Every structure is written in C-alpha cells, then in structure tokens.
Structure 1
Amino acid sequence: MVHHIPRPLRFIAVGCAAAAVHWLVVVALVEHAGLPPLAANVLGWLVAFTVSFAGHHHLTFRGHGVPVRDSARRFFLLSAFGFALNETTYALALHLSRIGYQLLLGAVLVFVAGITWLLSRLWVFRDSPARP
C-alpha cells in the first residue's frame, strides 16, 4: 500500500518524523537537562538517525535490493556528513543570529534534508549494477 505513495512524499514524511524527533530531543535536553544547544544537537542527531534509517530503508526506498549492512553503512556515512554540515551551519547561525535556537535548528534541518534526499537516492539505496 505504501508503494502507491510517490517516493518524494515518503521521503518527506520520514524526514519530517526524523527531524521532529531530532528537534524534540534537542529542545528537551536544552530546556530540561540544561545542555548547550550544540551538545544537545549531537544527541538529537543520534536518536533521529535510527528513525531516519529505518524509515528510509523500509518505506522511502523499499525494494532497493541493497543489503541492510551496506545501506546502513552508507546511510551512516551520509548522515554523519549531513550532521557535520548541520552542526557547522547551526554553530554559525547561532553565532551570527539573534533568532532563537529552535527556529535556527528547524531551518538547518530543512537545508540538510535536501542534500540527504539527493545522496540517498543516488548512492545509499542505489544497488550496484550487476558485475560480470
């Protein structure tokens, strides 16, 4: 039944779920545990990674044919790259802007999501052509 939903919409749904988890973990850790936003962002990413990989592996790119160990390794590398981009952009935005950390994080998550879509589609969940 999920395969009737266009892949970009599945990607957006999974990405929104992972971004919501990421954002909620960061806000909870800042507001209730007193962590600085950048430190909380690391933990938010780690929790959201599991939501994102499971959703993209089973829903967005369902039937991709890539063994889970390969797609998990590739997705972790992509996610780590995306997180490095996220953390760098977030740190710069926090330093340069007076906008609240919550809104800045939301904007950064949307920016990184576009890059993640492209690389997931072209690399993470793309099966290698058969080799002779």
Structure 2
Amino acid sequence: MQLFRFAIAGGITTALYTIVYSPLAKYRVTSEQVANLAGYLIAMLAGYVIHSRWSFRGHGADMRQTTIRFFLVSLISYAINTGWVFLLTDDAMLAGPWWWPLVPVLFVTPLAIFALNRLWVFA
C-alpha cells in the first residue's frame, strides 16, 4: 500500500517537475540545467508535503530528523537528475533533445528515491 501511495505522490511531484522543466527547456527560455533546478524546487516542496503527510504517514517520529533527511535525499534526487540532464542534453556529452532526460527522470530516479525515503528518511 505504501508503494502505491508513493507512486501516486511521486507521480504528482514528477508531473510538477515536468510541467516546470518542459516549457523552460523546450522553448529555450533558459538552459536545461536551470529548467532542471526550477522543476526540482517545485517538486521538492510539493514532495515534502505530500510524502510526509500521506505516502509515509505514521513513519518517523522525529519530525526534525525526518525533515533534514528528506532534504538530503531531495538533494540526491536533484544530483541524479542533474546528471541525466548533463549526460543526455549537454553538447559535450550526447547532445540529445531537451526531453531525453525525462525518460530516466520518470523511470529511474523515483525508484532510488523511494528506497531512500522508505529505508532512511521515514523509517
């Protein structure tokens, strides 16, 4: 059940990331990395509220410790997604289109972040 709740909440936060990242990167309002940062900030804030109050409710009694750990895992998520953006869109790497990073952002990063949230943040 927790995985199901995480999937829904993660879907919402990933959708928010995509809604922010996509137009900024697609229409070249800014670089893909700045679009990634903007998407991350929105998703991270929404993710904390949704995950702490719904996905992992009842786990982790120490709210201060949970908050610190959540933001550390959030930074790991940002680092992973920054890596995808760099690898897949940067001219020095694969120089792909703006949307290529969305594939691993949608299907790889969430699995790692679920594990960290479940086993460490909200344990």
Q: Shorter chain as normaliser: what TM range? A: 0.7 to 0.9
Do the aligned partners of 1:37 and 1:101 also contact (CA within 8 Å) in 2?
yes
Q: Displaced runs of 4+ in structure 1, greater than 6 A?
A: none
Matched, 1:59 2:59: no
Aligned-residue offset at 1:99: 4.7
Q: What residue number does 1:17 align with?
A: 12
User: Following superposition of structure 1 onto structure 2, how do residues 62-73 of structure 1 map, counting pairs within 5 Å?
Assistant: 62-73=57-68
What TM-score comes out, normalization by structure 1 length? 0.81
Counterpart-to-counterpart distance in 2, 1:98 and 1:30: 13
Which letter does structure 2 place at the counterpart of 1:110? F
Aligned-residue offset at 1:102: 2.1
Do the aligned partners of 1:86 and 1:109 also contact (CA within 8 Å) in 2?
no
Matched, 1:122 2:123: no
Aligned-residue offset at 1:73: 0.8
Q: What residue number does 2:37 align with?
A: 42
Do the aligned partners of 2:22 and 2:99 also contact (CA within 8 Å) in 1?
yes
Counterpart-to-counterpart distance in 2, 1:93 and 1:31: 14
Counterpart-to-counterpart distance in 2, 1:102 and 1:113: 17
Which residue, out of 100, 104, 127, partners 2:101? 104
Do the aligned partners of 1:86 and 1:108 also contact (CA within 8 Å) in 2?
yes
Q: Deviations over 1:40-60 (max 9, x none)?
A: 101110110011111110111
Which letter does structure 2 place at the counterpart of 1:87? T
Do the aligned partners of 2:89 and 2:100 also contact (CA within 8 Å) in 1?
no
Which letter does structure 2 place at the counterpart of 1:91? F
Count matched residues: 121
Alignment RMSD (CA, Å): 1.8
Which letter does structure 1 place at the counterpart of 2:50? G
The runs of 5 or more residues in structure 1 that have no matched partner are 1-5, 127-132
Matched, 1:74 2:69: yes
Q: Deviations over 1:95-121 (max 9, x none)?
A: 444653224224224211000011111
Which residue, out of 76, 83, 91, partners 2:86? 91
What TM-score comes out, normalization by structure 2 length? 0.87
Do the aligned partners of 2:26 and 2:98 also contact (CA within 8 Å) in 1?
no
The runs of 5 or more residues in structure 2 that have no matched partner are none
Q: Deviations over 1:28-78 (max 9, x none)?
A: 323567111111101110110011111110111111142322211101001
